[in-house]
């Protein structure tokens, strides 16, 4: 039985959500861990910890992006987070 058309996203929205989840989620994850590392003096444990937590954060951001209705809003939120984390990193140098 085919899915009801009113519950499906358009092709453009699907592409936006997938790219936001994969690329945007990756950059948010990387910059989040770098922002945390900018506060710490000893970053030895951060490398090991981020190896495990980055997968969980990235997969969670991917799922959130896929479940939303509007891909543009997901990209907007992820870009705001990216700029915020870059600002934190720059200010803590």
Cα distances (Å, whole numbers) of residue 68 to 3, 33, 75: 18, 24, 11
Query: What pTM was computed for the model?
Result: 0.87
The per-residue pLDDT for 73 is: 96
Phi, psi of 23 (to 5 degrees): -75, -50
The per-residue pLDDT for 89 is: 94
The per-residue pLDDT for 8 is: 72
Tens of pLDDT, residue by residue over 51-71, are 899 999 999 999 999 999 999
Tens of pLDDT, residue by residue over 8-41, are 778 899 999 999 999 999 999 999 999 998 888 8
């Amino acid at each position: 039985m085919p899915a009801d058309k009113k519950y499906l996203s358009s092709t453009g929205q699907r592409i936006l959500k997938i790219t936001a989840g994969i690329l945007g989620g990756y950059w948010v994850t990387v910059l989040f861990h770098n922002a945390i590392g900018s506060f710490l003096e000893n970053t030895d444990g951060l490398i090991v910890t981020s190896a495990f937590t980055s997968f969980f954060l990235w997969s969670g951001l991917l799922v959130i992006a896929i479940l939303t209705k509007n891909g543009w809003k997901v990209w907007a939120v992820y870009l705001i987070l990216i700029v915020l984390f870059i600002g934190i990193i720059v200010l803590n140098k």
